[in-house]
Chain A
């Protein structure tokens, strides 16, 4: 996952992109493979949850998303994890600038 996190006026804004095909049930059926898409994404800073997102097959392929939160400092590490329908998972981190 690619993560960019920037702090401005007490609010951290994060842009992230998860590399995932996000295969819908329809497409998977046509291709004769199993559907698979990211079902849950979390982000934590200092073990505190700052993003908790449940998602469906309708996020775009390689979904890009942006979110904001308060309470972090520059230099803190943000850790993001996604989980997909078939149990795959990936964890990435970045330092808040």
Chain B
């Protein structure tokens, strides 16, 4: 039994080593691990971008006012700002960060995602402009049925 466990672990470790990391421009989970464990949006944004003011313009964020199913809340966001990255945060779940996109010359900021929200709260989308400023859009929504069980 012990030997079997050991072999199993070996296969798992080998698989982990083969993960293609070279494709990505930046894997924020590796370069900024603190962002993903931060519990508040303010903390997560500060760990991602440093303590900078959020300019609430230039970003369009669409989400329902009331989410019937917290397990898959549709969130759309777009912007015309020339940007380096986009990140999505929320205040409903134990940790604040949902996802982060690295942009390049091919990128168009026009995303739709579905996220889990455990309870009512606020979503913030932050666009990091090439000018170094942070542009953001906020939206508060009610969640009828919490969806962290999925």
Q: Which residues of A contact B (CB under 8 A)?
A: 11, 13, 21-22, 24-27, 39-40, 42, 44, 48-61, 63-72, 81, 83, 86-89
Contacts and interface: CB of A to CB of B under 8 A. Distances in A.
By secondary structure, the A interface counts as strand
Contact of A55 (B12, B99, B104, B147): B99
Nearest to A61: B150
B28 A70 contact: no
Contacts of A49: 23-25, 104, 106
Q: How large is the interface on B (under 10, 10 to 19, 20 to 34, 35 or more residues)?
A: 35 or more
B150 A22 contact: yes
Interface stretch (B54-62, B113-121, B133-141): B113-121
Contacts of A67: 101, 108, 110-112
Contacts of B149: 27
B26 interface: yes
A58 B102 CA distance: 18
B148 to A, nearest CB: 6
B43 interface: no
